[in-house]
Amino acid sequence: MAQRDDAHVDDWLLVLTLSSGAAACRAAGDAASIAFVLAGYVGAPAAPRRAPPGEAADNGRKGRLRRAVWSLSTLLTVMFAWRVAAVMPNWPAALLVWALAAATTVGGFVALFHRRP
């Protein structure tokens, strides 16, 4: 079973690498877009690697891991909302993008820190 999980991780990393490379090529010359792609490429795989390993960790370690995962996911959500809101045709649509990003961030916080086990 471990081999199968490793194969899925390898496939996911390959897809992420190829799509990030294609996005960086399309953004050639635009430093902000390349920085966005690079930050997403580094941040996306970091969150699952930092995910709590279940009941094996002590409470202090779980808390640190949850904070790290929430911070990384919030960073990626804000970065995505920033880019999407910038291309919206009008301000109500951009406001909706930011409202959904805020709801996602708050929902993640509640799910990670305020739920009962």
Q: What is the pTM of this model?
A: 0.66
Q: For the chain, what percent of residues have pLDDT higher than 90?
A: 24
Can you tell me the distance from the alpha carbon of 34 to that of 83, in angstroms, rounded to the nearest whole number?
12
- Over the stretch 40-86, which tens digit does the pLDDT of each residue have? 788 766 655 555 455 555 667 777 888 888 888 898 899 889 989 99
Which residue do the tokens 């909302």 mark? 81
For residue 22, give the 3-state DSSP assignment.
helix
Residues near 62 by Cβ (< 8 Å), separated by ≥ 6? 52
CA 107 vs CA 3, 71, 89, 114: distances in Å: 33, 13, 27, 10
Query: Among 38, 64, 35, 34, which Cα is nearest to 51's?
Result: 64
Can you tell me the distance from the alpha carbon of 97 to that of 86, in angstroms, rounded to the nearest whole number?
10
- What pLDDT, on the 0 to 100 scale, is given for residue 52? 47
> CA triplet 26, 16, 103: central angle to 5 degrees?
95
